[in-house]
Amino acid sequence: MTHNPERNAQRPLRVLAAMSGGVDSAVAAARAADAGHDVTGVHLALSANPQSFRTGARGCCTIEDSRDARRAADVIGIPFYVWDLAERFREDVVEDFVAEYEAGRTPNPCLRCNEKIKFAALLDKALALGFDAVCTGHYATVVTGPGGARELHRASDMAKDQSYVLGVLDERQLAHAMFPLGDTLTTKDEIRAEAERRGLAVAKKPDSHDICFIADGDTQGFLAKRLGRAEGDIVDESGTKVGSHDGAYGFTIGQRKGLRIGRPAADGKPRYVLDISPVDNTVTVGPAAALDVVALTAVKPRWCGTAPTGPAGYTAQLRAHGGETPVTAELTTDGTLTVSFEEPVRGVAPGQAIVLYDGTRVVGSATIATTQRRKAALAG
């Protein structure tokens, strides 16, 4: 197999480098230019009011970030533009995020941004303008197999691998994706050292964390401003009220802290969120063992190539920084993905993405709809 497009292109490509204002995207753009490609930098303005998004160096949606990206492009010596995708971002990412929580699900906005913004809206615009590829600072690799099909694989360095949040990309999008950082066994310190050697001022800029459009990192407060207070009951598995809350949207499956339960469990052990019901605004709590999930169904699958047929063994990743677990997965005739786990897993919530792997290859992803637990008949 050979890595494409950055190493095996027969001609220089016209590359649009998405530059967030961080060190990874700046070094990726510089490497693409070093490879002989005709690179243009672009920063995505994702907020109609940039000051409302995170300030300082922790996000990717501030005025400061756009200036950092512009300075990096100047040092690299490439043209630079700012594209306004704020309305599209609001509709496809922010509003989706709020709606998912309101429905009692736990979304991943980074996956949605990659799917709807960076490799849909941005890529479509890039192709319309005659660009061949979109380059980002993600840690993942694109591989071309013997038959010419494009595949998404994990980064060479598993510690930095970001293929989970790219599992929404289809074969067409992969054909125009470039990840110059993905196949190098370099630590983040080495990436920063490279940026410093190149004279990029973002070399020492802290990594972004949390959700870029929540200015203070307070997800519950962000949701409360948009959905309002909605007092409800916290109940145990028997339905007995053990506490109250200001909004079911402020909880996630598996949560332990912040439950404000007045009385301890009979066995004295901690209790966790088992279920969130937006219909009656009720949060159910119980013991850790009741979180064990043995199977799930997932909807809206997106395949990084040909869809699988028949039941088959894979490994699955359930969160951006989680490990892999062996599963058997099958795509049903109605397009639903059914997954069973070899060993029970915890912290699985409807709305999350499950990403399937065959070795290092990303098979595809889907959105978790329901879960089946080993104990108790609660389904997510």
pLDDT in tens, 70-82: 999 999 999 999 9
CB 102 within 8 A of CB 156: no
Q: Is the pLDDT of residue 186 over 80?
A: no
Answer yes or no: do 101 and 195 share one domain: yes
Answer yes or no: do 275 and 320 share one domain: no
CB 293 within 8 A of CB 341: yes
Q: What is the CATH number of the domain that holds 163?
A: 3.40.50.620
Answer yes or no: do 37 and 143 share one domain: yes
Of the candidate ranges 18-32, 243-257, 355-369, the one whose mean pLDDT is the lowest? 243-257
Q: For residue 10, what pLDDT band results from cuts at 50, 70 and 90?
A: low
Answer yes or no: do 39 and 66 share one domain: yes
Alpha carbon distance 17, 22 (integer Å): 12
CB 47 within 8 A of CB 83: no
Position 52 scores a pLDDT of 47
Q: What is the mean pLDDT of the chain?
A: 88
Give the domain range for residue 106: 2-204
Residues designated as active site: 113, 212
Q: For residue 195, what pLDDT band results from cuts at 50, 70 and 90?
A: very high
Answer yes or no: do 128 and 244 share one domain: no
- Mean pLDDT of the region 275-288: 91
Answer yes or no: do 110 and 253 share one domain: no
Position 50 scores a pLDDT of 53
**191/213: higher pLDDT:** 191
- Using CA of residue 3, residue 4, residue 6, residue 12, what is the dihedral sign? positive
Helix or strand or coil: residue 209?
A: coil
Alpha carbon distance 62, 55 (integer Å): 6
Alpha carbon distance 355, 363 (integer Å): 7
Q: Where are the alpha helices (DSSP H) in 199-355?
A: 219-227
Q: For residue 379, what pLDDT band results from cuts at 50, 70 and 90?
A: very low
Alpha carbon distance 243, 262 (integer Å): 6
Tell me the two tokens of residue 350: 């409807």
Give the model confidence (pLDDT) of 327-347 as tens digits. 999 999 899 999 999 999 998
Q: For residue 1, what pLDDT band results from cuts at 50, 70 and 90?
A: very low
Q: Which residues pair with 316 in a beta bridge?
A: 325, 356
Of 187, 204, 221, the residue at which a domain comes to its end is: 204
Give the model confidence (pLDDT) of 43-64 as tens digits. 998 876 655 444 443 445 677 8
Of 242, 267, 289, the residue at which a domain comes to its end is: 289
Q: What is the CATH number of the domain that holds 316?
A: 2.40.30.10
Answer yes or no: do 195 and 254 share one domain: no
Answer yes or no: do 360 and 345 share one domain: yes
- Mean pLDDT of the region 196-221: 84
Position 89 scores a pLDDT of 92
Position 221 scores a pLDDT of 87
In total, the chain counts a number of residues equal to 380
Position 15 scores a pLDDT of 98
Alpha carbon distance 189, 192 (integer Å): 5
- Using CA of residue 176, residue 180, residue 185, residue 188, what is the dihedral sign? negative
Q: Is the pLDDT of residue 12 over 70?
A: yes
Position 177 scores a pLDDT of 95
Give the model confidence (pLDDT) of 220-256 as tens digits. 888 989 998 889 999 999 898 999 999 998 898 999 8
Q: For residue 326, what pLDDT band results from cuts at 50, 70 and 90?
A: very high
Tell me the two tokens of residue 161: 């691998």
Answer yes or no: do 17 and 158 share one domain: yes
Position 305 scores a pLDDT of 84
Tell me the two tokens of residue 21: 């204002």
CB 345 within 8 A of CB 318: yes
User: Measured between alpha carbons, how far is residue 220 from residues 112, 177, 231 in Å?
Assistant: 20, 34, 14
Q: Is the pLDDT of residue 377 over 90?
A: no
Position 60 scores a pLDDT of 53
CB 281 within 8 A of CB 331: no
How many Cβ atoms from other residues are within 10 Å of residue 58's Cβ?
16
In a domain, 378, yes or no: no
pTM: 0.88
Of 188, 204, 220, the residue at which a domain comes to its end is: 204
Q: How many domains does the chain have?
A: 3
